[in-house]
Amino acid sequence: MFTGARIEGEEGPAIKVVLVDTLTGKIVNSGPESSSRVEIVVLEGDFDGDEAENWTPEEFKNNIVREREGKKPLLTGDVLLNLKEGICLVGEISFTDNSSWTRSRKFRLGVRAVDNFDGTSIREAKTESFIVRDHRGECECVYLFMAFLYCFPQKAQTMKLKWCLKKFGLGYFE
């Protein structure tokens, strides 16, 4: 995953958030909880909880990653969502910073309920961990590889090599 790129789900472009009753395993499609507000957050990549994936709301909160000082918010886009009949689709969200500066060098996405309900608790959820790389590195390897293939099929000429590297530096390749 790269900074600035839209975050997409495994089964398609949209990430789906679903509120599920832990006792029945069914979607909670009625009642006040089914239309609660949820927030998408960034978590430390090494946040696991125990083997049964039990964690407290405090542990979840303590593993939320905030942006570095002086930087933009770490996650931009539609981070506050409203469930409708227990389901919502995450719109455009993307990372503004890479994960290399965190203790695990990885992130997880988490979702938590913003609303409180008397007698009902909504447990947070999290994704698997993943690395976020700077988008500036997204194309460099491919272009560099293409530049070498283009420049070196025959004996390399200094002028041709300079032309390729100059084009490479501008971020495109012909």
Residues 40-78 pLDDT 10s: 999 999 887 655 578 888 999 999 999 888 888 999 999
Decide: helix, strand or coil at residue 75.
strand
Separation CA 36–CA 114 (nearest Å): 7
Work out the burial of residue 146: count CB atoms within 10 Å of its CB; fewer than 13 is exposed, 13-18 middle, 19 or more buried: middle
Predicted TM-score (pTM) of this structure: 0.73
pLDDT at residue number 67: 87
- Helices and strands (H and E) in the chain: how many: 3, 8
pLDDT at residue number 30: 92
| More confident call, 24 vs 141 | 24
Residues 118-161 pLDDT 10s: 878 888 988 888 888 887 654 444 444 444 444 444 444 434 44
Q: In percent, how much of the chain has pLDDT > 90?
A: 23
Cα–Cα nearest to 61, from 156, 154, 126: 126
| More confident call, 134 vs 26 | 26
pLDDT tier, 4 (very low <50, low <70, confident <90, very high otherwise): confident
DSSP 118-164: TTB----EE---B--B-THHHHHHHHHHHHHHHHSSSSPPHHHHHHH
Residues 75-104 pLDDT 10s: 999 999 999 999 998 888 998 988 889 888
Separation CA 20–CA 35 (nearest Å): 13
Separation CA 49–CA 75 (nearest Å): 23
